[in-house]
A = this chain, B = another copy of it.
Amino acid sequence: MPHVQITWVEGRTPEQKRKIAERVTTALIEDGQAKRENVHVSFHDVPSTNYAEGGVLVVDQKRTP
């Protein structure tokens, strides 16, 4: 532990995920006393039809996701 589940709209590159996984892991080690080898991070990419904020799907919002 810990396990980190990140759910967001698809579109991020492997390089973006690589950086975020490392930064999140480091934050948990430095500020949460986690051991590096026990930190797991999973990214759950969903289409823009599958995430809503304020009741409105991202695909219907007038902004970039």
Contacts and interface: CB of A to CB of B under 8 A. Distances in A.
Interface residues of A, number: 53
Contact of A1 (B8, B33, B34, B49): B8
Contact of A52 (B2, B25, B57): B25
Interface in A25-65: 25-28, 31-34, 36-46, 49-60, 64-65
Contacts of A57: 14, 17-18, 21
Question: Chain A at the B interface: mostly helix, strand, loop or mixed?
Answer: mixed
Contact of A37 (B21, B32, B54): B54
Given A3-B8, A4-B4, A14 B44 contact: no
Contact of A23 (B12, B27, B38, B49): B27
